[in-house]
Structure 1
Amino acid sequence: MASPRTQQALARLADLTPRQIVAELDRYIVGQGDAKKAVAIALRNRWRRQQAPESIRDEISPNNIILIGPTGVGKTEIARRLAKLAGAPFIKVEASKFTEVGYVGRDVEGMIRDLVDGAVEMVRQERESEVEDLANERVDERLLDLLLPPPAADAKPVTPAPEPAPEPMLVDLGGTAGVFVVSPTGEAKQETPADVTTERHQRTRDKLKGLLLDGQLDQREVEIEVSNAGPSFDMFAQSGMPDQMENFTDMLREMMPQRKKKRSVKVSEARRILLEQEFEKLVDMEDVTADALERVETLGIVFLDEIDKIAGEKSQMGGPDVSREGVQRDLLPIVEGSNVQTKYGMVKT
């Protein structure tokens, strides 16, 4: 059973017939009518597959399409626009950059891992947009606390200056100074200096909030607490490193304790940093990951470019051609359907 958010993505497909999909693609791509019809029908069949009973859904495989044509005719743009129209995770990779498993370089499963990374980022941005208003409100309050710290509980009471009306009168409240306010109607109300200080602080805070929202305080500096970057693992993340080692370095970064340090930054920069911190609090990354994995399995699109470069004739050099026949053999399980391990979990292609 698909999650509610994945069902919303599929609902967009329900409103798009193949004819409407082709019409939408016509807005951005000239010609290529046959290709547009083929991808439109394939996208519609994806939606139909999700409407089938679960008992037979796995028996219906999504279509794989080969687009043949010279550079610049719109092959990539058709796939990209189609993914955007469907709200589907999308990635474009070049087949010639992969090598056979066991040799230095990236194996073909890396494209699925990259697709999952893109899906996680896409879903995370969707979640952030949903809580953006609440996050901005929290950031405003935190910035006001930095610009105008709340009065300390043990601060020395300050007696406010008398105002014309109502006229305050100082009285002795058992050794503690206080304010006895008489309203125009003759009613009396006792206020302690702490209440007066709090009220004055709130009035000042309200004025500052107006200036903050107008952007008049963006150049003022405040001191905030940020996460200090841990040790660098860039030496392990060189080009050509196997994806398993990259996942290992990511795991090491997560295991390292997050150190905090204070920085003096402008309000405009502090707003960006604090907004990221609030997003981390409001967005459930476990839910994001689960939704992203489901979208990859249900709607994910991989555009494999330069497939002709690994489908050529056998090399005459005599040595192992790790970028052709080996890659072809490794691609076959991905295309037909297999399980790929990612740092977020297992993905069924």
Structure 2
Amino acid sequence: MTPKEIVKELDKYIVGQHEAKKAVAIALRNRWRRQRLPEEMRDEVAPKNIIMIGPTGVGKTEIARRLAKLVRAPFIKVEATKFTEVGYVGRDVESIIRDLVEIAVITVKEEKMEAVMERAEEIAYDRLAEIMVPESKPSQQSIQSLFDVFLSPQKAQTPDFEKEQSRLRNERNRIKKLLKEGKLDDEVVEIAVTVETPGVNVIGIGGDLANIQDMLSSLFPKPRKMRKMKVKEALRYLTQEEAQKLIDMDEVIREAIDRVENQGIVFIDEIDKVAARSGGRGPDVSREGVQRDLLPIVEGSKISTKYGLVRTDHILFIAAGAFHIAKPSDLLPELQGRFPIRVELKPLTKEDFMRILTEPKNALTKQYKALLETEGVEIEFTPDGIEEIARIAEEANTKAENIGARRLHTVIEKLLEEISFNAPEMKGEKIVIDREYVRSKLEDIIENEDLTKYIL
């Protein structure tokens, strides 16, 4: 996709912030360009990491998430404050890459399973038919006949197994046909299922030790037990089981690691919270330690995971923070140099709120309208009603903490509280949300500053 096409796609979900969209679109296009360079030059081109500067709720996370979804790239969002310096109790920064690889493996595995699902379903039908029409137990006479064949094959008569096998085939084919038609969905069958044993979470240990449990579990087969379930559920379980058998996990892991190394996106939120503002004492030492641990990963290093070593040289890192108190220059100089692109996102205005409520594909007004339609209730947002919602959201952000577009969720939830509660008894009704309706529900709250802080 060209940078313009990427921005156009992001515009469908995120209002404004053109500079930030432009920056991530260029960074993404540079990846495509790098893949077309000669191999000796390809490894020399480092990704252009980005720092997004802006208050909460203006679209920083959403831009990164939509970007990853757009190109189907492995994506992880982490908060810098959740990590501790190596040697302290808590999560170390290398777990970011381990988690990213885990996400990529799951994604690739699902894609591969989807590709073989049709074949897996056919095998599952056969297995289910065999479970529902088991082979008959051999009678005493059959066992004696087999024994006679063994002792004197020239005199004994061979049991008529072909007739029995033919009967089984016909009956199983009949059951299989009924299964495909869905006529046996509510019947109950008993199948063997794998018992998942709960894992043990160990806090504050490195990746090598954390992987010991996975290695030990792979040495021993997982226990199985018999479980009764409906045919429909059993078919779904057996299809998944067969699909897993049909895929090559080594190929899945290779592809997942390749995607992480060449397409992975790591979004580090609250990077400003680990920016040391004074040299040398108290929590600032720990903050600086987290930055120093992040530095080799952002620069490019090899991280040990349970799937093997993963290179971080070409993973795109997007850092974000409000930087109300700290400044980007408070970060370690080495870390600053690894984020060459700085983008400032603008605070949202009333006009932005109005666009957010109407323009995106996933606009809140469209979501709530669809939700209430399931109850048979129709709601209509008029232009002046939307303008009033935007005004109240902006005013609430001014009086209380500015949480950006997230304020709209709170305002609309409070606005539609009574309708949502009474919706099952309002089937067939149509409600118009205009300026007067919004004011009647929210004006008292917005005028009282204390209520605004606690309710909106």
2:345 matched to which residue of 1? none
Q: CA deviation at 1:250?
A: 1.8
Q: Which amino acid aligns with 1:214?
A: E
CA distance in 1, matches of 2:70, 2:125: 35
Q: CA deviation at 1:338?
A: 1.0
Residues 49-73 of structure 1 show CA distances to partners (whole Å, capped at 9, x for unaligned) of 0110001111110110111111111
CA distance in 1, matches of 2:74, 2:52: 19
Q: Which amino acid aligns with 1:261?
A: K
The answer on 1:292 being equivalent to 2:259 is no
Residues 201-228 of structure 1 show CA distances to partners (whole Å, capped at 9, x for unaligned) of 4443333223212333223222322334
The answer on 1:24 being equivalent to 2:9 is yes
SS at match of 1:224: strand
Seen in structure 2, the aligned counterparts of structure 1 residues 229 and 44 have a Cα distance that, compared at 3 Å, is closer
1:335 matched to which residue of 2? 298
> Once superposed, which parts of structure 1, at least 4 consecutive aligned residues long, lie more than 6 Å away?
152-157
1:8 matched to which residue of 2? none
1:279 matched to which residue of 2? 243
CA distance in 2, matches of 1:209, 1:249: 41
Matches within 5 A, 1:38-57: 38-57=23-42
Q: Specify every segment of 5 or more residues in structure 1 that has no aligned partner in the other structure, as ranges.
A: 1-15, 158-173, 177-191
Q: Which amino acid aligns with 2:277?
A: E
Q: CA deviation at 1:121?
A: 0.5
Aligned length: 300
CA distance in 2, matches of 1:201, 1:255: 37
Q: Which moved more, 1:261-270 or 1:61-70?
A: 261-270
1:11 matched to which residue of 2? none
1:95 matched to which residue of 2? 80
Residues 58-92 of structure 1 show CA distances to partners (whole Å, capped at 9, x for unaligned) of 11101101111111111111111111111110000
SS at match of 1:67: strand
- Indicate the RMSD between aligned Cα atoms, in angstroms: 2.7
Q: CA deviation at 1:304?
A: 0.5
Contact 1:128 1:279 in 2 (8 A): yes
Seen in structure 2, the aligned counterparts of structure 1 residues 71 and 251 have a Cα distance that, compared at 3 Å, is same
Seen in structure 2, the aligned counterparts of structure 1 residues 256 and 206 have a Cα distance that, compared at 3 Å, is closer
2:267 matched to which residue of 1? 303
SS at match of 1:324: helix
Seen in structure 2, the aligned counterparts of structure 1 residues 319 and 217 have a Cα distance that, compared at 3 Å, is same
So what's the TM-score if we normalise by structure 2?
0.61
CA distance in 2, matches of 1:208, 1:89: 43
Contact 1:97 1:323 in 2 (8 A): no
CA distance in 1, matches of 2:140, 2:190: 22
- Say which of 219, 241, 246 aligns to 1:255: 219
CA distance in 2, matches of 1:256, 1:328: 40
Q: Which amino acid aligns with 2:304?
A: Q
Q: CA deviation at 1:322?
A: 5.6
Q: Which moved more, 1:70-79 or 1:133-142?
A: 70-79
- Say which of 115, 118, 123 aligns to 2:108: 123
- Say which of 266, 271, 274 aligns to 2:230: 266
Contact 1:96 1:323 in 2 (8 A): no
Q: Where is the helix percentage greater, Structure 1 or Structure 2?
A: 2
Seen in structure 2, the aligned counterparts of structure 1 residues 260 and 61 have a Cα distance that, compared at 3 Å, is same
2:173 matched to which residue of 1? 206
SS at match of 1:138: helix
1:225 matched to which residue of 2? 192
Matches within 5 A, 1:4-83: 16-83=1-68
Q: CA deviation at 1:103?
A: 0.8
CA distance in 1, matches of 2:283, 2:66: 38
1:13 matched to which residue of 2? none
Seen in structure 2, the aligned counterparts of structure 1 residues 251 and 197 have a Cα distance that, compared at 3 Å, is closer
Q: CA deviation at 1:199?
A: 4.5
